[in-house]
Amino acid sequence: MRHWRGPFDRQGYHHGNLKEALIEAAQRFIAERGIGGFTLADAAKLVGVTPAALYRHFRGRDALVAEVAFRGYDELAKRLGRALQSDGTALERFTRMGEAYLAFAEQEPGFYTAMFSAKPTEGEASCSPFWAKAVESGGKPAGNAFDFLVKALADTFPEGFQTVDARFIAIEVWALSHGIATLDAAGQLPKGPGLPDKYELLRAGVLALVHGALKGKV
Partner DNA sequence: TGTACATCAGTGAACGCGCGTTCACTGATGTAC
Phi, psi (rounded to 5 degrees) for 135: -95, 145
Helix axis angle, 90-107 relative to 198-214, nearest 10°? 140
For a copy of itself, which stretch binds (CB under 8 A), given 68-76, 87-95, 106-114, 180-188?
A: 180-188
User: Is there binding between residue 82 and a copy of itself (CB under 8 A)?
Assistant: no
Residue of 25, 49, 173, 210 that binds DNA (CB under 7 A): 49
Q: Which of 80, 127, 78 is nearest to 102 (CA)?
A: 80
With CB under 5 to 8 Å by kind, the binding choice for 49 among a copy of itself, DNA, none is: DNA
Candidate segments 13-21, 66-74, 121-129, 209-217, binder of DNA by CB under 7 A: 13-21
Among 42, 48, 178, 199, binds a copy of itself (CB under 8 A): 178
Distance of CA 191 to the CA centre of its chain: 24
Identity of the residue, 33 or 93, whose beta carbon is nearer to a copy of itself in the bound complex: 33
User: Does residue 173 belong to the site contacting DNA (CB under 7 A)?
Assistant: no
Residues of span 106-165 touching a copy of itself by CB under 8 A: 116-117, 127-128, 130-131, 146, 165
Closest to 84 measured CA to CA, from 103, 72, 101, 105 = 101
Among 17, 173, 187, 33, CA closest to 97: 173
Report the C-alpha gap between 2 and 17 in whole angstroms.
9
Q: Are 27 and 68 contacting, i.e. CB atoms less than 8 angstroms apart?
A: yes
CA-closest candidate to residue 12, choices 1, 26, 20, 25: 1
**Contact region for a copy of itself (CB under 8 A) — 15-23, 33-41, 78-86, 94-102?**
33-41
Residue with smaller CB distance to a copy of itself, 85 or 128: 128
Partner interacting with residue 176 (select from a copy of itself, DNA, none; CB below 5-8 Å by kind): a copy of itself
What residues pair up with 141 in beta bridges, in sequence order?
Answer: 136
CA distances 181 to 74, 112, 164, 176, Å, are 18, 10, 26, 8
The residue (of 41 and 175) whose beta carbon lies closer to DNA is 41
Residues binding a copy of itself (CB under 8 A): 34-37, 116-117, 127-128, 130-131, 146, 165, 167-168, 171-172, 174-180, 182-183, 186-190, 194-196, 201, 204-205, 207-209, 211-213, 217-218
